[in-house]
Structure 1
Amino acid sequence: MRLKGLLSFPLTPFTADDAVDLDAFARHVEAQIAAGPSGLFVACGTGEFTALSLAEYRTLVETAAAVAGGRVPVFAGAGGGPQLARAFAETATEAGADGLLLLPPYLVAAPPVGLVRHIAYVAAATPLPIAVYQRANAVLDPAAAVALLDIPNVAGIKDGRGDVDAMLRLVTAVRTSGHPRAEEFGFLNGLPTAELSVVAYEAIGVESYSSAVLCFAPEIATRFYSAVRAGDAYAQRRLLTAFYLPLVALRDKVPGYAVSLIKAGARLRGHDMGPVRPPLVDAAPEHVDALATLIEDGLRVVEELA
């Protein structure tokens, strides 16, 4: 599972009476596919996985798989404790997902060898390829990363920690392990606003990254990606200065804005995703206004670069 390029993490839209809006979700997924990502990751962090019931999750995965129609692989989030993660994995398999993103186990801190046991336990419940999300209480070491190669359907690691040195050690350990799957194993940059770290991560062999901006400003996200592919440092700097760096500063003002601001951005672009579910809070009006200005600035730079 060596996905390359931009990865889309669609939002989960909710109605005013707190139901999942499947029609809005289908439109959103279609728009994301039109932006050209190499994979869709539905009902994950940006998609508010932890706020979903198992029944809601099933309908989201089924809808995404139907809309995608094989045009792009659909990965679904799975997480929580081992039994719950298995239940989500089994449901995703039945609902037509092409793969899973295994989120950290709920609350429990464990050594890397324990995480490998957890991953193997969940992987045994599904034939789907699994990307393991490393962040928070789920931190692997080189030995654990190599051990994952012995779990046939574990296909990669998504990093959300931002420790480039530590990630380099994982990539190097896997690639030099001599294991038959060493070269096919994938590494994904899953940091919030990964555009800030994409160049550093590509330098250590991480070939794809998630882009939350793709959810509400695909013009900006795809233009930045093309600048990365072309080695166009000037275009990257222009977009970082005008849009990405101030976006991160705005995101960091309130915990949970990595989701709330993305939903606000979608609403600003005419795609009503509804509110976020608790414990997240919707973006404050003054922050939405600031985001609107940032989007205008970013789009202006895209036009100037054209």
Structure 2
Amino acid sequence: MSVLRKSPDGILGFPVAPMNHQGNLDLKALQTNVQFLIDEGLSAIFIGCGSGEFHALDHSEYKAMVETAVTVAGGKVPVYTGVGGNIRHAVELAELSAKLGVDGYLILPPYLIEPEQEGLYEYIKTIVTSTELNAIVYQRDNCIVTVETLQRLVEFPQVVGLKDGHGNMELNMEMTQTIGDRLSWLNGMPMAEVTMPAYVNLGFQAYSSAISNYIPHISALFYHALLNQNKELLSELYRYVILPINRIRKQRKGYAVALIKAGMEIVGLPVGTKTRVPVIEVEKEHYNMLEAILNDTFERFPKGKQVNSVTG
């Protein structure tokens, strides 16, 4: 297998795990979700990660989601999976991902434990060395590596990127300046459009966009405006779309997932709002608020204004 040792750039697509009214996985809806993201120009598909309710999937569902994403992508864009939790489970999913033909995986935090740096190093190393797939370290929650630990990890060629969902800009500066272009740098903060102006100045060239699941033309418009320093357009996008949606997202825990499904349903994608516990569905008041924002968004920023590439 010839492996391209590079993490995807641009705007990264993170499909959801569509559920029917009985709470079972809807693979047909997932196909639509993945195809929509590819058709809209997203640079990669990350399946079975946070927005895909990794925490709530059983083994067969995870496998089915990965198989679906690989089939729909058909080599047009790279496919990455989410692996993590307890170490045996993480390695099992990494090995399964390799068998199913994905390009790499995102290493999610270990379950519950607040580890020392040596423990984190061994956790990530064990996963990374289990396959030849590309690996992206997810910096968040109880998986915060130091510069020194990251320097040890980049000795493994499989490690191609770091996705930051922690938001410590001083640490990000230390890492990007110390490690440089040996790694790709991905912004994984909640509602990453809010923080991307700060991240892009540190050399972050990719970010995960939750809103791309339902308004990808806004993601593209935003990133193009950011890279081209179109401050007037950026200001309008923040005022009328990004910040209003972000305010709703912060109203309830779990909305980072649930609000995506609500937005997809509002724009007519065949994905219901059903989530799995402990994530709660979006409350009706907040659903209506999001619907009003999206209606206004399509009036102010019709899809005809989108750019040709979401990579800028």
Matched residue type, 1:23: K
Aligned residue-pair number:
299
Q: Counterpart of 1:292?
A: 291
Q: CA deviation at 1:305?
A: 9.5
Residues 124 and 189 (structure 1 numbering): CA distance in 2 closer, same or farther, change over 3 Å?
same
Deviations 1:175-225 (A, max 9, x none): 2xxxxxxx3411100011100111110101111111000001112111112
| Aligned pairs (5 A) from 1:122-141 | 122-141=127-146
1:81 correspondence with 2:86: yes
Query: TM-score, length-normalised on structure 2?
Result: 0.93
State the SS of the aligned residue for 2:154.
helix
| Aligned pairs (5 A) from 1:108-123 | 108-123=113-128
Q: Distance in 1 between matches of 2:35 and 2:293?
A: 25
Q: Is the 8 A contact 1:2 1:184 kept in 2?
A: no
Q: Is the 8 A contact 1:219 1:299 kept in 2?
A: no
Q: Distance in 2 between matches of 1:80 and 1:246?
A: 33
Question: In structure 2, which of residues 39, 44, 51 is the aligned counterpart of residue 39 of structure 1?
Answer: 44
Q: CA deviation at 1:167?
A: 0.9
Matched residue type, 2:229: G
Q: Is the 8 A contact 1:101 1:131 kept in 2?
A: yes
Residues 113 and 171 (structure 1 numbering): CA distance in 2 closer, same or farther, change over 3 Å?
farther
Question: In structure 2, which of residues 25, 29, 35 is the aligned counterpart of residue 30 of structure 1?
Answer: 35
Deviations 1:8-59 (A, max 9, x none): 1011111122221111111110000011111111110011011101111011
State the SS of the aligned residue for 2:137.
strand
Q: Distance in 1 between matches of 2:65 and 2:7?
A: 25
Q: Is the 8 A contact 2:9 2:43 kept in 1?
A: yes
Q: Counterpart of 2:281?
A: 282
Deviations 1:146-192 (A, max 9, x none): 111112211111000112121111111212xxxxxxx3411100011
1:190 correspondence with 2:188: yes
Residues 272 and 304 (structure 1 numbering): CA distance in 2 closer, same or farther, change over 3 Å?
closer
1:63 correspondence with 2:68: yes
1:107 correspondence with 2:112: yes
RMSD over aligned Cα atoms:
1.4
Q: Distance in 1 between matches of 2:145 and 2:178?
A: 12
Question: In structure 1, which of residues 144, 148, 154 is the aligned counterpart of residue 153 of structure 2?
Answer: 148
Q: CA deviation at 1:2?
A: 4.0
Q: Distance in 2 between matches of 1:73 and 1:104?
A: 22
Q: Distance in 1 between matches of 2:160 and 2:113?
A: 24
Residues 305 and 198 (structure 1 numbering): CA distance in 2 closer, same or farther, change over 3 Å?
farther
Matched residue type, 2:254: G
Question: In structure 1, which of residues 151, 154, 163 is the aligned counterpart of residue 168 of structure 2?
Answer: 163
Give 5+ residue unaligned stretches, structure 2: 1-5, 306-312
| Aligned pairs (5 A) from 1:223-242 | 223-242=221-240
Deviations 1:222-252 (A, max 9, x none): 1112211222111111010111111111111
State the SS of the aligned residue for 1:150.
coil
Q: Distance in 2 between matches of 1:113 and 1:38?
A: 34
Q: Distance in 2 between matches of 1:255 and 1:291?
A: 16
| Structure 1 ranges of 4+ moved more than 2 A | 297-301, 303-306
Q: Distance in 2 between matches of 1:111 and 1:186?
A: 25
Q: Is the 8 A contact 2:264 2:271 kept in 1?
A: yes
Q: Distance in 2 between matches of 1:159 and 1:301?
A: 31
- Farther-moved stretch of structure 1 (133-142 vs 222-231): 222-231
- Farther-moved stretch of structure 1 (11-20 vs 193-202): 11-20
Q: Is the 8 A contact 1:134 1:158 kept in 2?
A: yes
Q: Counterpart of 1:179?
A: none
Q: Is the 8 A contact 2:32 2:270 kept in 1?
A: no
Q: CA deviation at 1:304?
A: 10
Query: TM-score, length-normalised on structure 1?
Result: 0.95
Q: CA deviation at 1:113?
A: 2.6
Q: Is the 8 A contact 1:61 1:96 kept in 2?
A: no
Question: In structure 1, which of residues 261, 264, 269 is the aligned counterpart of residue 262 of structure 2?
Answer: 264
